[in-house]
Homo-oligomer: A and B are copies of this chain.
Amino acid sequence: MPTAFSPSDAAPVAPQAAAGNGGAVVISVDAMGGDRGPAAVVAGIEKSADKNPEIRFIVHGPEAELRRLIGKRREIAARCDIRDAPGVVTMHDKPSQVIRSAQGTSMWSAIESVRQGEATVAVSCGNTGALMAMSMLRLRKLPGVARPAIAILWPSRNPSGFNVVLDVGADIRADSTDLLQYAMMGASYARNGLGLERPRVGLLNVGTEEHKGRSELKEAQELIAAAADSARFDYVGFVEGGDLMGDRVDVIVTDGFTGNIALKTGEGTAKLVGDFLKDAFANSIMSKFAALLAMTSLKRLQKRIDPRRVNGGVFLGLNGTVVKSHGSADATGVSAAIKLAFQLAKSGFQDRLAARVAQAAEQAATAAAPAPGPTGDNG
């Protein structure tokens, strides 16, 4: 994962188009790079357009192909602006190689729309590493952020149904100040995305006792605890793998290596149990009949654990918001990612996050000084 783009080459970035186009919210969509090709992405656009009449789309990919796919759907054709970008980033491309020939790809073009302020949020199903590398190159990191993070909503026992977990794979490393930054950004996301006034933040470790874990975690523990009050979150201390889906905390902070493995372990386990459940009900005529009777309940369960329903990792710490959809997303998954992008765009999340991060950077710099009182903003 590239981290070589220093803040000194920060490019000018246009103001956010929070509600341009006569009250509509504009989402920039990379139609290529997903495992199921542009047809699934366009079907996802149609699905979300149906539900959210306020969205307009800028769709990036080979023009002829997109015209053919979108032209068939008269309801969305009028709300989609097509941008020709013949190049495609594949799942197997190395981020460092992609960057050299990035211009002309649909991914680059999708990010460019956010950079130029014609769209508020970009959505892509493509290669995570390449998407992060291009996002960093074109959008630049927010001042004070050393490592951006990918945050996801994790199904949980909390009333909202979700916890915020970050980083799940932007960078395999994170030092104590990165983890502090993640705590600030994660709390901001929980406030805007889950509507929690004062989120509870925990730091992922192998045990809850203070003496456990690596040295950078003990350092981060102190930094986060010191920042909690002025950043209006509660720091609950170390949490364990079993708290990711629990109700002890709302935001769980970890490095991108651990977070990525935890995420894939959780997804894999849910899928395994779901498959075992299917096996169990296919076992006898009696159990098949029972499954029929319980259909409504089982469908509700399936919806609750369906990873497509909460599809979308949000890149935090950049001058612009990018939503990474699962590579294998179908129309339902793409539509969920677009919905998330739409909600974040509407809430003015990017501006609030930037304000919060600026505050964090300032605090980290004056960590020893007494903390200021509540700021009263909603970041």
Using a CB–CB cutoff of 8 Å, the interface residues on chain A facing chain B are: 92, 94, 155-157, 169, 172-173, 204, 206, 209, 211, 213-214, 240-246, 254, 256-258, 260-277, 279-281, 283-284, 286-287, 289-294, 296-298, 300-301, 304-305
Contact = CB atoms under 8 A, between A and B. Distances in A.
Contacts of A290: 290-294, 297
Contacts of A262: 241, 261-262, 265
Contact of A301 (B270, B271, B276, B292): B276
A264 B287 contact: no
A293 B291 CA distance: 9
7 A-B pairs with least C-beta separation: A241-B264, A290-B294, A290-B293, A242-B268, A241-B265, A280-B297, A287-B297
Contacts of A296: 283-284, 286-287
Given A92-B209, A242-B271, 19 more contacts: A155-B272, A157-B272, A172-B206, A173-B214, A206-B257, A206-B261, A213-B257, A240-B261, A241-B260, A241-B266, A241-B268, A262-B265, A270-B273, A276-B304, A280-B298, A281-B297, A283-B300, A290-B293, A290-B297
A262 B157 CA distance: 19
Contacts of A304: 276
Nearest to A267: B242
Nearest to A268: B242
Given A284-B297, A287-B294, A294-B290, A244 B268 contact: yes
15 contacts: A94-B209, A94-B211, A156-B272, A172-B213, A240-B264, A241-B263, A244-B268, A257-B258, A258-B258, A261-B261, A261-B262, A273-B273, A280-B297, A283-B297, A293-B293
A209 B214 CA distance: 27
A169 B277 contact: no
Given A214-B257, A260-B206, A264-B240, A269 B297 contact: no
A266 B264 contact: no
Contacts of A92: 209
A286 B276 contact: no
A245 B269 CA distance: 7
A214 B173 CA distance: 8
B269 A270 contact: yes
Nearest to A256: B206
Contacts of A264: 240-242
A279 B155 CA distance: 15
Contacts of A281: 294, 297
A245 B298 CA distance: 23
Contacts of A172: 206, 213-214
A30 B269 CA distance: 32
B277 A277 contact: yes
Contacts of A286: 293-294, 296
A203 to B, nearest CB: 12
A157 B268 CA distance: 11
A111 B267 CA distance: 38
Contacts of A241: 260-268
A169 B156 CA distance: 24
Contact of A258 (B240, B261, B271, B298): B261
